[in-house]
Structure formats: structure tokens, C-alpha cells
Amino acid sequence: MLEVLGLTKHYGPVTALDGAAFTARPGRLVGFLGPNGAGKTTTMRCVFGLATPDAGEVRWDGAPIDAATRLRFGYMPEQRGLYPRMRVGEQLAYFAQHHGMPGSEARVRTAAWLDRFGLADRERSKLEDLSHGNQQRVQLAAALVHDPELLVLDEPFSGLDPLGVATMSEVLRERAAAGVAVVFSSHQLDLVEEVCEDAVIISRGRVVADGQIDELKARSGRRHLEVEVAGSGGAWIADTDGHTVLERDGDRVKLLVDEAVDLETLLAAARAAGEVRRFSFEPPRLSEMFMAAVTAPQPTMAEATR
Amino acid sequence: MTPSGTRGARRKAGRIRAIRLVATREVLERGRSRGYLLSLLFTLFLLAAGFLLPTLVLTGDHPTKIALVGSTPAVLGPALQTSAEQFDATVDISTLPDRAAADAAVRDKTVDAALEVPPDLSTPGELIVLEEAGSQLRGIVSGAVISLRAGSTGQLLIPPSVTALKPPTAENTTAIIFANAGIILMFIGIFTYGTWVLTGVVEEKQSRVVEVVLSTVRPRDLLMGKVIGIGLLALAQLIVLVAAGIGAAQLSGRLSLPPTTVGAVVQLLTWFVLGFALYSTALGTLGALASRVDEAQNAAMPVTMTATFSYIVAIVFVTQEPSGVVARVMTFLPPSAPMVVPLRAALGVIDPWEVVVSIAIMLAAIWLLFVVGARVYTGAVLQTGSRMRLRDAWRASR
């Protein structure tokens, strides 16, 4: 289990991390969310010793992480990069060996991953001769080739075509199913909602929401309501306390309602306006929760729900 | 062994493994690149140029100065002029009263040669030079004397005998050639492969691969592995060139190898390793400050200037006066020692204690530079954007 405990990091006058804390469990996919500059990359760099926190620490299986532990981790930085002129096969084997694999095993695992990504025939090609999409696949393979116990990926979906997105999600799900703890950052919230079980939302260096996505949604107290009243033109409802009209489309209105609002009262109001054809109710999208969490004034949601 | 002891040992083993992996990658990736072969050919070319250039410059158009000693046949001067024309050369003729004055003039190089021929041409006479008579000079003088003697007395066609005041020994010549070749190789090697370290560091930074590498390798181990790997390639090239040079000399039979050869080669290789370690560590550190290769070359300017300056001073001053003050001082300065010490050693004018002290200073300097350099490298290598200042990089790493 990965435990990030109270990480604080300042770069001169800039506070990159301000007590960030969360956990990632084996076999779980964690979406690590936050606006640009919230501290996602710095957190990941702290896990790999690429940045040293001013306070707090990162633990793996209850012990502080050292160089030997780190060999069992896989990292894909946001700024992608491999050796452009090095051959694909040798490159992957090189990274596998850096993670402590013997040379022969490294070559076997390299061949297996290249095969998996349909790149078996490019093993002897230089990286720079590959297409952009294939270079991305090699980059992912470089993070996976040594069978890590923890996989940390910074924006793994950015710049991928739909095919690449499908491969990436499939591989991440499969790794999690194999017992790997997977943490990845992303701005594609709908994708995170679809792929991940857990989410961590970080804002201005602090974790403002953390847990199972379903629970976070249930806890958020905000719901979506879609109501269609025949012939009403949507005129039966206006913005008042407790609910916000998100969208009007003829007879249909979409509402965002607080937990406190009595749905019976709302339904009665709709019935009074005409024939109710639709009254559907769903939890908020992750993207809405995200917006609410990162724009919420202090105290943070995490503290409020504690 | 205590648990912490084993952990320490394991950590050390891990670091050595990482350094070895990095070094092996450099050797394999660069060793089979076309650039490595090209650099070998280029060095051979420069080496040849380094030997030929002084000869070309020295045999320029200036007239050969010949002094006629005592009383000589009146027609000797004009005969020399005529003979020189055959060689497409000019001679500048003066006279000196006696043999003692002639020897002095030759020694202090006011004339290139002195010629003593009896007025009656009873003997072919004597040509006095400092080290040796070049083929052109010998041709001009022989041509003049033989033509005079053939015309007047019909005696045998014997050229004047040649007396060298300071005849070069075979060992001396070889030592000088060795010293010069060694220093050229040293300079080119440090420059070429030091630049590889420099650009290698920037390229890793530019391609962002460094972040992936550093997730398992410590920055200073990466720097050290790079210096070792590229250093091995440079050393291999130097050994090939030295072996080729010695082989060629043996085959052509032109140079007899002096007994000091082995010592000179060992000195050359030792100092190459030391010099490369010093310069490439400095270059790798400065490379980490830059984000692009052209920026890196600017950042590296102070180091390349120092290397060039040391080289020029070594070539100019130390070869002239290998035991002078400049040479002695430069023996103990780390940037110049790699070029000066093997040069003086090859010329046989360095005391063993000087070598020992110089190596000690050098090792201390390398260690210091590596400690400072590794910290700056650590602070700078993950920073992107504009070129970093040395002080900021120093502060950036814990």
C-alpha cells in the first residue's frame, strides 16, 4: 500500500504541496485529479525521490521508501522521453535491468510487452523511427517491463488517439486486476470515472477529496434531476434556494439540487404544471464534484466530511 | 554483520550495478555509432596535420643563412647562389673571421650553417650546423663545392663533411615526437569525448528521458556512469592510436624506440584518464545547467577555454623550456597537468616526486570537482526552461 503522509514542499515563495495525504491500495486504480499546478507532478516526484519534501513522507507497505523499494515501482512522467536513437528492444531491456532484472529475464519481458503492443517486429528499430502512437506504447512498456508493484503515471492518456486510450485503459485495468496499485493523473474526468474505483482530488497542494468514487458521489449531497413536463416550456421552475437550473430544452429542464431539497415537493410542483413525462434522478458526474471540490472555499471538503 | 551493515552493502552493490549499466549503455550505443569511427579517423588526420604543419611552416620561403668561415675561394659565394637557384631557394651569405666565431653563430642561431672551404680547394671542406643538415642545405652546398672543385682541379666529387654541434640522438628525436604526438592526442581526446559527455547530458535532459532514468538511478551515479563509459571509449581510441603509432614506427624502421617508451606510454595513459575525469566531470556538470545543446556549448565555454589555453601554453612554453618556471608551475595545476606532465616526462626532464605530487593534487581536484559537480548536476538536471545559474543549481539540491 502506498501512503502519502502530509507532504509539504516549497519552491522558493511557491507552495507546491501543503500537507497532501492519501493512500493507494494494491489492486486498485486511483485517479489523481487536480487543476494544473495543484501539486500532482510534485507528489509523484516525491514518490520517486526526484523531489525531496520539506515535511511529510511517502511509505510503501508501512516502511519509508528507499532506493531498493523504488526498483519495484514503475513511473511514467508527464514529460515523455526515452532515448531517441536507441533501439526499442535494447531500450526496454535497459530500463528493466535498471529495476534489478537480470539481463536474460529483461529481454524475455521486453519481447513479451512488445508482442503485447503489436511491436514485435520493431524491436530493432530506433525509437525515433516509430510513429508517435507507437512511441507512446513503448513509453508505457518502459514503465511496465519490470512488473512493478506500484505504477505511477502522470497524464498517461494525454495525447493518445481513441485506440491508444482503449489500450491504455485496458492495460491499467489488467495491471490492477493483477494486484498492482495504480495511480495516474488525468484531466479527462469522464475517463477517470469510467476506469477508476478510487479518486484523489488535490487543490493548491492539499487533498480535498479522497476515496471510492461511488462513495464520494453519495457523500457529495448534490444530485442531478432531469424533469420533462409536457407543454410547460419549462416555465414551472426558476432558480431558487436549493436548486439550480443547469439547462432548459423545450419542455425539459436539468436541475442540480441540494440534498436538503424535498423531492416530493418538487415532483408535486411539476405535476401541477402538466403531465410529467420524465422525472429522473442521478448522482453528480465526477467532473461536477471536481469543480465543486477545487472551487470550494476553506475549510476543505475533506475536512468537512471527516 | 549487522542488519544496517548488510543494507549498506546491498545499497552499494545496487549503485555499482547502476553505474555499470549506465557505462555499458554508453559504450554500446556510442561505440558502434558512426561517430566513434569518424572521430578515430579525424584524430588520425589531426595527428598527421599536427606533425606536418610545423614542418610546412618552418620550410617557408625565407633565405637560408650561410656564413663563410675565414678565407674561402672568391667564387664560393656566387657558386652557392647559383646552386641555390637549382633548388628554387635563396641563400643569404655572410662571412665570419674564424672557426670559433662560426661555432658561436651557429649555436645562437644567427646563421643556419657555416661553411669552411680552403681557398685552394684542396679538400671539400666542412659544413657546420647545429643539429642536422637538411637535405636542401646539403644539396645546395654540395652542388656549389663540387662544381668548383670539378672546374678547377678535376679532383674527386666529394661533398663537404658535415659537423653537427649538437647532433640529435635517435632517442631524443623519438622522445620529442612521442611527447608532441601524446599531447595532441591528449587534447583531442579530452575535447572530443568531453564534448560527448556534455552533449549526452543535455540530450538526456532535452529528450526528458532523464526523469525516467532518475526514478531508479541517483543523479551522481548517472553522471559517473556516463563519464566512465565514454572515458573507456576514449581510452580505447588512445590505445589503438598509440599502438598503431609504435607499430608504424617499428615497421618503417625510422624511429628506434628508446627504453623510456614504456614509461612514456604509461604516463600518457594515466594522465589521459586523470585529465578526462577532470574535464568531462566539469563539462557534464555544466551541461546539466543547459536545456539545449547550443546553450550547453556556451555554458561549457570556460572549461573549453581552459583546456585550449593549457594546450597552447604546453605546446609553446613547455616544449621550449621543459624545465622552466612556467613548465614547473603548470605541472601542479590540475587543468594543465594532464598535458604538461606527460610532455615533460617524455622529454625526460621531470623528477619522480613532481609526478607523485602532481597526481595527488589531481586526484584531490577530481574528487572535489565530482562532489561539487554531482550536487549541481542533481539540482539542475530535472529543471527545464531557461539555462540555470550555477549557484541556483547548487541551492536547488538539498
pLDDT in tens, B275-306: 999 999 999 998 888 888 888 888 888 998 99
How does pLDDT run across B105-123, given as a tens digit for each residue?
A: 888 888 888 998 888 888 8
What gap in Å lies between CA B57 and CA A200, rounded to an integer?
A: 75
Q: Which residues of A touch B10 (CB under 8 A)?
A: 68
Contact B208 A81 (CB under 8 A): yes
Compare all CA atoms of chain A with the CA of B398 and give the residue at the minimum distance.
A52
Q: Check whether B1 has a pLDDT greater than 50.
A: no
- Span B320-370, pLDDT tens digits: 778 888 889 999 999 999 989 988 887 778 889 999 999 999 999 999 999
**Which amino acid, residue A275?**
E
Separation in Å, CA of A87 to nearest CA in chain B: 9
CA distance A16 to chain B (A): 15
Q: What is the mean pLDDT of residues A282-297?
A: 79
d(CA B362, CA B368): 10
The yes or no reply on domain B61-164 and CATH 3.30.70.270 is: no
Interface confidence, given as ipTM, is: 0.81
Lowest mean pLDDT among A27-31, A90-94, A217-221: A217-221
Does the pTM of the predicted model rise above 0.80?
A: no
What are the two backbone dihedrals, phi and then psi, of residue A33, each rounded to the nearest 5 degrees? -115, 155
Residue with cell 605546446: B315
Q: What is the pLDDT of residue B51?
A: 58
Burial A131-159 (b: 16+ CB within 10 A, else e): eeebbbbbbbbbbbbbebbbbbbbbbbee
Q: Please say if the pLDDT value at position A303 is more than 60.
A: no
Range from A159-173, A230-244, B20-34, B93-107 carrying the lowest mean pLDDT: A230-244
Q: Which carries the bigger pLDDT value, residue B375 or residue B58?
A: B375
> What is the distance in angstroms between the Cα of B207 and the nearest Cα belonging to chain A?
5
- The per-residue pLDDT for B235 is 94
Confidence check: pLDDT of B54 > 80: no
Task: Print burial letters for B333-366: b (CB count within 10 Å at least 16), e (below 16).
Answer: ebbbbbbbbbbbbbbebbeeebbeebeeebeebb
pLDDT band at B57 (very low <50, low <70, confident <90, very high): very low
Place of cell 658561436: B104
Q: Name the residue with cell 440534498.
A: A259
Could you say which of B17, B21, B208 has the minimum Cβ distance to residue A94? B21
- Mutation pick from A9, A69, A98 vs chain B, by most beta carbons of B within 10 Å, is A98
CATH of domain A222-283: 3.30.70
And the C-alpha cell for A197?
A: 474505483
Euclidean distance between CA atoms B53 and B76, whole angstroms: 34
Q: Which residues pair with A203 in a beta bridge?
A: A206
- pLDDT, residue B24, reads 93
With a CB cutoff of 8 Å and minimum separation 6, the contacts of A154 are A40, A41, A44, A76, A77, A78, A184, A185
pLDDT band (50, 70, 90) for residue B58: very low
Q: Are B309 and B222 in contact (CB under 8 A)?
A: no
**Block residue for cell numbers 495543484:** A38
Give start and end residues of each alpha helix (H) in chain A: 40-47, 67-70, 88-98, 103-116, 132-144, 162-177, 189-195, 213-220, 263-273, 286-295, 301-304
**Quick one: which of A137, A123, A114, A130 has its CA closest to A90?**
A123
Q: What is the pLDDT of residue A102?
A: 93
Strands, E assignment, chain B: 64-69, 91-96, 113-116, 126-129, 161-164
How far B16 CA lies from chain A's nearest CA (Å)? 11
Contact (CB, 8 A) for A178 and A264: no
Of A279-283, B170-174, B325-329, the one with minimum mean pLDDT is B170-174
- Contact B240/B35 with Cβ under 8 angstroms? no
Kindly list the domain boundaries of chain B, sorted by start residue. 16-54+170-396, 61-164
Q: How far apart are CA A73 and CA A65, in angstroms?
A: 10
Instruction: Give me the residue from A71, A82, A97 closest to B209, CB to CB.
Output: A82
CA distance A194 to A48: 27
User: B264 in contact with A at a CB cutoff of 8 Å?
Assistant: no
Alpha helix locations (H) across B32-132?
34-58, 76-86, 99-107
Task: Tell me which DSSP letter residue A121 carries.
Answer: G
Select the residue of B14, B18, B209 nearest A81 (Cβ to Cβ). B209
CA quadruple A273, A277, A279, A285: dihedral sign: negative
Q: B169 pLDDT exceeds 80? A: no
**Averaged pLDDT, B113-138:** 83
Higher pLDDT pick, B235 / B393: B235
Q: Is A71 on the interface with B (CB under 8 A)?
A: yes
A55 and chain B in contact, CB less than 8 A? no
B218 shares contact with chain A (CB less than 8 Å): yes
Three-class SS state of A151: strand
Helix axes A213-220, A286-295, angle to 10 degrees: 60
Q: Yes or no: say if B142 and B160 are a contact pair by the CB < 8 Å rule.
A: yes
* Residue pointed to by grid coordinates 436541475: A255
CA B24, B28, B29, B30: dihedral to nearest 10 degrees?
Answer: 100
> Which CATH number fits the domain A2-214, given the four candidates 3.20.20.100, 2.30.290.10, 3.30.479.30, 3.40.50.300?
3.40.50.300
CA distances from B43 to A148, A177, B301 (A): 46, 57, 22
Q: Determine the pLDDT at residue A74.
A: 94
Q: Which one, of B60, B68, B62, lies nearest residue B141 by Cα?
A: B68
